[in-house]
Chains A and B, each alone.
Chain A
Amino acid sequence: MDPSSTEREFGRILEESLNEIFIFDAVTLQFLQVNRGGRENLGMTIQELRELTPVDIKPHMTRESFEALIQPLRNGSQETLVFDTLHRRKNGSDYEVEVHLQLASFHDLPAFVATILDTTKRNQVANDLRVRNRAIESVGVGVVISDASQHDMPIIYCNHAFERITGYGTQEVIGRNCRFLQQDDRDQEARHTIRETLHSGEECRVLLRNYRKDGQLFWNDLLISPVKNSAGVVTHYVGLCNDLTQRIRAEVEKSDRETRLQAILNTAVEAIITIDEWGVCESLNPAAETMFGYSVKEVIGQNISMLMPSPYREEHDQYLQNYLRTGEKKIIGIGREVVGRRKSGEEFPMELSVSEVRLKETRLFTGMVRDVTELKHAQQQLIQAERLTALGEATARLAHESRNSLQRIQIAVETARLHCDEHQLLVDQLNSIENASDRLHALHEEVRNYAAPLNLEFEETTLAKVWRSAWSATQHLRQGRQVHLIEQIPTDQIYCRVDRFRFEQVFRNLFENALVACSDPVEIAISVTETHTPLGDKWRLSIQDNGVGLDEQQRRRVFEPFFTTKAKGTGLGMAIAQRIVEAHGGTISVGSGFLGSGQRNGAEFIIEISR
Chain B
Amino acid sequence: MCKSLRIAIADDEPEVLEYFSGVLRSLGHQVVIQASNGRELLDACRTDRPQLLITDIGMDKIPGIEAMRALSANVPMPTILISALSEGDESLSESDAQVLAFLSKPVKLATFTGAVKVAVDHILQ
Contacts A400-B84, A407-B16 hold; do A437 and B106 have CB atoms under 8 A apart?
A: yes
Q: Is A370 an interface residue (CB 8 A)?
A: no
A404 x B16 contact (CB < 8 A) = yes
CA distance A457 to B19 in the complex (A): 38
Residues of A within 8 A of B84 (CB): 400-401, 403-404, 407
B interface residues, how many (CB within 8 angstroms): 14
Choose one: B85, B86, B107; the contact of A407 (CB below 8 Å).
Answer: B107
Residues of A within 8 A of B19 (CB): 411, 415
Q: Is B105 an interface residue (CB 8 A)?
A: yes
B105 x A407 contact (CB < 8 A) = yes
Chain A contact residues: over half helix, strand or loop, or mixed? Answer: helix
Q: Which residue of A lies closest to B110 (CB)?
A: A414
A interface residues, how many (CB within 8 angstroms): 17
User: Which residues in window 375-429 of A have CB below 8 A to B?
Assistant: 400-401, 403-404, 406-411, 414-415
Q: Is B46 an interface residue (CB 8 A)?
A: no
Contacts A403-B105, A437-B106 hold; do A408 and B15 have CB atoms under 8 A apart?
A: yes
Residues of A within 8 A of B86 (CB): 445, 448
Question: Min CB distance, A228 to chain B, in Å?
Answer: 108
Contacts A404-B84, A445-B86 hold; do A410 and B108 have CB atoms under 8 A apart?
A: yes
Contacts A404-B16, A408-B13, A411-B19 hold; do A441 and B106 have CB atoms under 8 A apart?
A: yes
User: Which residues in window 1-45 of B have CB below 8 A to A?
Assistant: 13, 15-16, 19
Q: Is A452 an interface residue (CB 8 A)?
A: yes
Q: Which residue of B lies closest to A406 (CB)?
A: B106
Contacts A407-B13, A408-B13, A408-B16 hold; do A414 and B109 have CB atoms under 8 A apart?
A: yes
User: Which residues in window 95-110 of B have CB below 8 A to A?
Assistant: 104-109
Q: Is B121 an interface residue (CB 8 A)?
A: no
Residues of A within 8 A of B15 (CB): 408, 411
Q: Is B87 an interface residue (CB 8 A)?
A: yes
Choose one: B87, B105, B108; the contact of A404 (CB below 8 Å).
Answer: B105
CA distance A35 to B98 in the complex (A): 150
Question: Min CB distance, B85 to chain A, in Å?
Answer: 6
Residues of A within 8 A of B106 (CB): 403, 406-407, 409-410, 437, 441
Residues of A within 8 A of B105 (CB): 403-404, 406-407
Choose one: B16, B87, B104; the contact of A411 (CB below 8 Å).
Answer: B16
Binary contact readout A445-467 vs B (1 if CB under 8 angstroms, 0 otherwise): 10010001000000000000000
CA distance A441 to B108 in the complex (A): 12
CA distance A348 to B101 in the complex (A): 61
CA distance A414 to B112 in the complex (A): 12
CA distance A409 to B108 in the complex (A): 10
Question: Min CB distance, B82 to chain A, in Å?
Answer: 9
Question: Min CB distance, B101 to chain A, in Å?
Answer: 16
CA distance A142 to B19 in the complex (A): 114
CA distance A448 to B85 in the complex (A): 10
CA distance A198 to B108 in the complex (A): 116
CA distance A400 to B57 in the complex (A): 13
Question: Min CB distance, A457 to chain B, in Å?
Answer: 13
**Most-contacted residue by chain A among B86, B106, B109 (CB, 10 A):** B106
A contact set with B: CB distance below 8 Å: 400-401, 403-404, 406-411, 414-415, 437, 441, 445, 448, 452
9 closest pairs, A vs B, by CB? A406-B106, A407-B106, A403-B105, A403-B84, A411-B19, A410-B106, A414-B109, A407-B105, A408-B15
Q: A403-B84, A407-B13, A411-B16 are in contact. List 15 more A-B contacts (CB 8 A).
A: A400-B85, A403-B104, A403-B105, A404-B84, A407-B16, A407-B84, A407-B105, A408-B15, A410-B108, A411-B19, A414-B108, A415-B19, A437-B106, A448-B86, A452-B87
- What are 12 A-B residue pairs whose CB atoms fall within 8 Å in the complex? A400-B84, A403-B104, A404-B105, A406-B106, A407-B105, A407-B107, A408-B15, A409-B106, A410-B107, A410-B108, A414-B108, A448-B86
